[in-house]
Amino acid sequence: MHLNRIYFLTEKFFRNACSVAEKQELAVWIKENPDEGLSGILENAWDDFDSQAKMPDHVSDRILSTIFPTEEKSLSYEFSDENDISSFHLWAKIAVAAVLIMAIGMYWWSGIRETNKMAMKNIPSTLVADLPPGGNKAILTLGDGSNIILDSAGNGNLASQGNTSITKSGTGELVYKSNDQAAGAVVYNKVSTPKGGQYHIVLPDGSKVWLNAASSLRFPTAFTGKERRVEITGEVYFEVAHDAKMPFIVKAYEAEVAVLGTHFNVMAYPDEKVMKTTLLEGSVKVSRAGKSALLGPGQQARLTNASDNIRVLDDVDTDKEMAWKTGYFQFENDNLESIMRQVSRWYDVDITYEGNASREHFTGRLPRNANVSKVLKILSLSGVKFRIEGKSIIVTP
């Protein structure tokens, strides 16, 4: 079993999200591989909790009560025999030690790391530098071509465009407010996020928009006429304000997504082979080259440059598709190259491969507020090696 799978199960256990079968799978692996990178897996899983301000009391209480039950309760419903239970208890005690160490503010597991040096040797460590995660960064281009760097701009009024005022709120979002006066000539603005950036915008009609890294949104400062039309590149999530008389249309390359009021995500990066539109609420129509498909919640439309056909998938994992907005990387059997494209965009770094890219596939979930070394460390559990040189990551199989 691949170590990234074990990390995924460990992280799920800490979130109390493991099924009985997954707990069984985890316990059997620990029993059969007690020294295979165990401390590294635990360290990284617990680091996910360290990314929060404080682990909630009910979480630590649940873990402690699971490991040291106060009543005479057996864990046999999760494990097949006493050896499995014993192995799990050994692992669980290490986890409790981590809870206690983290509670007094220590970042590193000094004692555990010292007693598990042999296990840690199984994890390649060629990282000699580190890179911080991305953050709220964007450039606003006004109708006259002038630019405002949003991450360094102060809060409050930034500009006026026609009858629309533009402000930056105390929480850092960009807000457009249009008054009731008759609109003059249509003025277009554009918000662009760099690699390593993301941003949140409230459009003049009240629609809310989130831009992922290396993305852009072009839109009018006031919606007039019979439709609300915007253009995007990269990845953008929309929560569209309902207006039955004025459909909201998103143009991404040669495709269009038309809605009345709904929640959906469009991923249309130029370096990705597939454009994906994922619907969370309401309905949307995806169109290209005279063909169209109507989506319901939980469905996803996929388009490629090789064909004008629109492929619709049912019951997609919307949590995975929206992980970027909620602050995570989430992988489900993804190949290394697709993951490294996400790493490149979020950490503003170039990716270089020495030799052929690994054919490994990865499953797991990592916080996007972690330094890049943590992401690479988890990926290295499969044997892939990385090194950081300036603003480049070199990958070797």
What's the rounded Cα separation, in Å, for the pair 208 and 230?
13
**pLDDT per residue as tens, the chain (397 positions):** 566 777 777 777 766 677 766 766 776 666 566 554 555 566 566 555 444 434 444 544 554 454 444 433 333 333 334 444 444 444 444 444 344 333 322 222 233 333 333 333 444 445 557 899 999 999 999 999 999 999 999 999 999 988 899 999 999 999 999 876 555 678 999 999 999 999 999 999 999 999 999 999 999 999 988 999 999 999 999 999 999 899 999 999 889 999 988 999 999 999 999 999 999 999 999 999 999 999 999 999 999 987 888 999 999 999 999 999 999 999 888 999 999 999 999 999 999 999 888 888 888 888 899 999 988 988 887 788 999 999 999 998 7
CB 304 within 8 A of CB 298: no
What's the rounded Cα separation, in Å, for the pair 93 and 266?
44
Per DSSP, the residues of 10-21 read HHHHHTT---HH
Give the list of residues 6+ apart from residue 86 with CB closer than 8 angstroms, or none.
Answer: none
Q: Is the pTM of this model over 0.85?
A: no
What's the rounded Cα separation, in Å, for the pair 229 and 248?
6
Give the list of residues 6+ apart from residue 22 with CB closer than 8 angstroms, or none.
Answer: 9, 12, 13
Map out the domains of the chain with their CATH numbers: 3-123 (no CATH), 135-320 (2.60.120.1440)
Residue recorded with tokens 């969370």: 280
Q: How many CA atoms lie within 13 A of 242 on its CB side?
A: 5
Spatial CA neighbour of 45 closest among 73, 25, 17, 68: 17
